């Protein structure tokens, strides 16, 4: 029985990665592993423990004692931190910035890298983040890099937060997006980079459905290529 694909989705904050990874996972009946939620969970745990994101030893010890799980409840994906549902708590602007800071820490990345690879090595998974196709699974069969203009990404994020009842301005959200971009791109460990073999999709003027159909088309093409290669190898052996 052939192993299912590993699909990597990278890109900056607000480019549509989270929504599209969920939609793509549903369409393909794959498991969605939200790596961003993992770093947000570490950020939340560090915040609660009063640990500065620059404290390597403290963060390493913190990660060693954390469990992060994903489950689907009432049709929604939930994130559990040490058994607690933190799906909403990790989605605030403060935790977004904390996630960026702790993800720049080598000890945290090492801990999360091991967990991500363990969760995805069997295939049939979609992982989204900022270094999935370059660091976590450089050998992933399908790689996407989603992008959009800072203003559009800020608009999406602002709308999302307002729908949750948060009072936040558009300009403030755009500034936070740009600060997050700078932190993710310039960090020392595993900065935001596009894998050379990734399919780039600019989502600025596209609907979610349009992007999803494009991604499904790429996956179908890749499956056909892999199938043709396998048949050729069998005939040559």
Q: pTM for the whole thing?
A: 0.76
Q: Which residue has the tokens 């959009």?
A: 148
The pLDDT value recorded for residue 102 is: 92
Domain contains 180:
yes
Calculated CA dihedral for residues 166, 175, 212, 115, nearest 10 degrees: -80
**145-154, 175-184, 210-219: segment of lowest average pLDDT:** 175-184
pLDDT at 208 over 80: yes
- Name the token pair of 184: 């993710």
Domain contains 118:
yes
The residues pairing with 35 across neighbouring beta strands, listed in sequence order, are none
Domain contains 157:
yes
pLDDT at 18 over 50: yes
Domain contains 193:
yes
Coarse DSSP helix, strand, coil percentages of the chain, rounded to the nearest 5 percent? 55, 15, 30
State how many domains the chain has: 1
Domain contains 187:
yes
Q: Which residue has the tokens 């290529």?
A: 225
The CATH code of the domain that includes 215 is 3.40.50.300
Structural domain span for residue 31: 6-236
Domain contains 1:
no
Q: What is the mean pLDDT of the chain?
A: 89
């Amino acid at each position: 029985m052939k192993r299912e694909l590993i699909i990597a989705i990278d890109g900056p904050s607000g480019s549509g990665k989270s929504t599209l990874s969920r939609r793509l996972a549903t369409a393909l009946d794959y498991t969605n592993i939200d790596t961003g939620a993992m770093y947000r969970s570490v950020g939340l745990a560090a915040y609660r423990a009063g640990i500065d994101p620059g404290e390597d030893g403290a963060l390493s010890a913190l990660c060693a004692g954390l469990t992060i799980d994903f489950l689907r409840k009432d049709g929604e994906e939930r994130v559990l931190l040490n058994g607690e549902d933190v799906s909403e708590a990790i989605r605030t602007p403060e935790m977004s910035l904390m996630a960026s800071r702790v993800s720049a820490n080598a000890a945290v990345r090492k801990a999360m890298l091991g967990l991500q690879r363990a969760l995805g090595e069997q295939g049939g998974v979609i992982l989204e983040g900022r270094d999935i196709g370059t660091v976590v699974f450089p050998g992933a069969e399908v790689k996407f890099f989603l992008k959009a203009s800072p203003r559009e990404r800020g608009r999406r994020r602002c709308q999302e937060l307002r729908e949750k009842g948060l009072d936040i301005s558009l300009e403030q959200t755009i500034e936070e997006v740009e600060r997050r971009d700078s932190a993710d791109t310039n960090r020392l460990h595993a900065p935001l980079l596009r894998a050379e073999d990734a399919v780039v999709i600019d989502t600025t003027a596209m609907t979610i459905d349009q992007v999803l159909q494009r991604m499904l088309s790429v996956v179908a093409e890749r499956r056909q290529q892999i199938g043709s290669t396998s048949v050729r190898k069998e005939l040559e052996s």
